[in-house]
Amino acid sequence: MFAVWPEFLRPFPLPKVVVGLLTMALSALSQVPVPVPINTDTSSLSTSLFKNNNVSFHNKLWTSGLCLDSNIANSRLKKRFVVCMSVQQASKPKVGVSPLSLEDAKEPPLHLYKNKEPYTATIVSVERLVGPKAPGETCHVVIDHGGNVPYWEGQSYGVIPPGENPKKPGTPHNVRLYSIASTRYGDSFDGKTASLCVRRAVYYDPETGKEDPSKNGVCSNFLCDSKPGDKVQITGPSGKIMLLPEDNPNATHIMIATGTGVAPFRGYLRRMFMESVPTFKFGGLAWLFLGVANGDSLLYDEEFSKYLRENPDNFRYDRALSREQKNRSGGKMYVQDKIEEYSDEIFRLLDGGAHIYFCGLKGMMPGIQDTLKKVAEQRGESWDEKLSQLKKNKQWHVEVY
């Protein structure tokens, strides 16, 4: 930070060389635009002296100001310092959220809308998340519920795709559950949207190798093909198993995901590291293991990498890329291989009360369970007894589909 030459120092004479250097420095600095947040108290700043331009940092509106040369400051800022924030400092504050009344509920909202009476929400946006070399397509779908279907981090929405159920003509399709990939405030931080992480389900005939649209996933294709303004029938919210425990803000949370199973963890991490929530100040450790096919398949990687840079003491992030990385045995790298790699540390954290979460395809769990059992036996422990204790202590959270 830097300041315009203060009034009270002018009576003291300084050598001309010093005065000249200070003038040159202030003149040079006056050419550097520095953002000042609009929603910060700027009563001590003479904002009318700034040339204003709007820029965006972390979805917040900021105004950039030019620090003034000493002549303008002397004539317009009497007995006052003008302190300009550096860009680095301006980018650090967390995003404000509203309405904070969403923090008041003592219990999570459950089943506000049932299958027979769903809520009609609106598609805000659909964005492809993966690169060209990813096997398949995964989309980030933002839905506007108008604040009428509130939820907590770790819960799910049900989605009823349009059309008739082919197995029950005249009736709607069955509801499909999707883990919510945003905090209760949504991607717009106003409590009116929810985000889903959806992989398009496509079926290929094993004999011909061609796509068979008649067997494609009805709901996933509907969501991925949706356009802004389209209507969508949602139910819920549902689920309590994956709720983020917040009674201890300094707790450790170990999150293990495959593919779209990362959805609830994105919500956790945004709440921990992105949002300014007065009632929840995270000071513990969040450790994410994400398993996907390759680098192009990584989901929300830029977001997670940013948390890692800005919160190195509170966040760890390990990727398992099955088609690009090898495990210790030379085979494909899956999340269970990463777990084995850090097994001593993970078991130590669990013994200290850490919560561990698993979310993704059902097929992920047998391999993970086998790995944990093997590690426990190598440590001279009974995995069955340890698992029983983890469940009893409510440290074990699993949601697979």
216 and 202 Cβ atoms separated by less than 8 Å: yes
The tokens for 25 are 């420095």
Give the domains, in start order, of the chain with CATH numbers.
Answer: 100-238 (2.40.30.10), 252-400 (3.40.50.80)
Distance in angstroms (rounded) separating the CA atoms of residues 401 and 158: 13
Sequence-distant (6+) residues with CB within 8 A of 358 are: 256, 257, 261, 364, 365, 368, 397, 398, 399, 400
Nearest to 185 by CA among 278, 97, 94: 97
- Residue 260 among known ligand-binding residues: yes
Residues 6+ apart with CB under 8 A from 366: none
Which residues, in sequence order, are bridge partners of residue 126?
Answer: 141
Distances (CA, A) of 242 to 35, 140, 263, 360: 39, 20, 11, 12
Cite the active site residues.
Answer: 178-179, 359, 399, 401
244 is in an annotated binding site: no
Instruction: Please give the Cα distance from 233 to 229 (Å, whole number).
Output: 13
CA distance 345 to 199: 32
Determine the pLDDT at residue 323: 96
Q: Tokens for 392?
A: 């009893």
| Backbone φ, ψ for residue 261 (5° rounding) | -65, -10
310 is in an annotated binding site: no
From the list 76, 95, 90, the residue with the least C-alpha distance to 33 is 90
23 assigned binding-site residue:
no
Instruction: Say if residue 270 carries a ligand binding annotation.
Output: no
327 is written with which tokens?
Answer: 């495990």
Cβ burial of 270 (10 Å; 0-12, 13-18, 19+) is: buried
- Does 65 show up as a binding residue in the annotation? no
| Rounded (5°) CA angle 105-109-113 | 145
* pLDDT for 16: 52
Q: Mean pLDDT by 10-residue block, N- to C-terminus, for the chain (401 residues)?
A: 41 49 48 39 33 35 35 36 30 86 96 97 98 96 98 98 91 96 98 98 81 85 98 98 96 98 98 96 98 97 97 97 95 96 96 97 93 95 96 97 90
Residue 369: both structure tokens together: 């369970």
275 known member of a binding site: no
Residues 189 and 179: their CA atoms lie apart, in Å, by 18
What's the CA gap between 68 and 45, in Å, rounded?
12
Crossing angle, helix 364-378 and helix 383-392, to 10 degrees?
110
Query: Rounded to 5 degrees, what angle do the CA atoms 35, 38, 39 make?
Result: 130
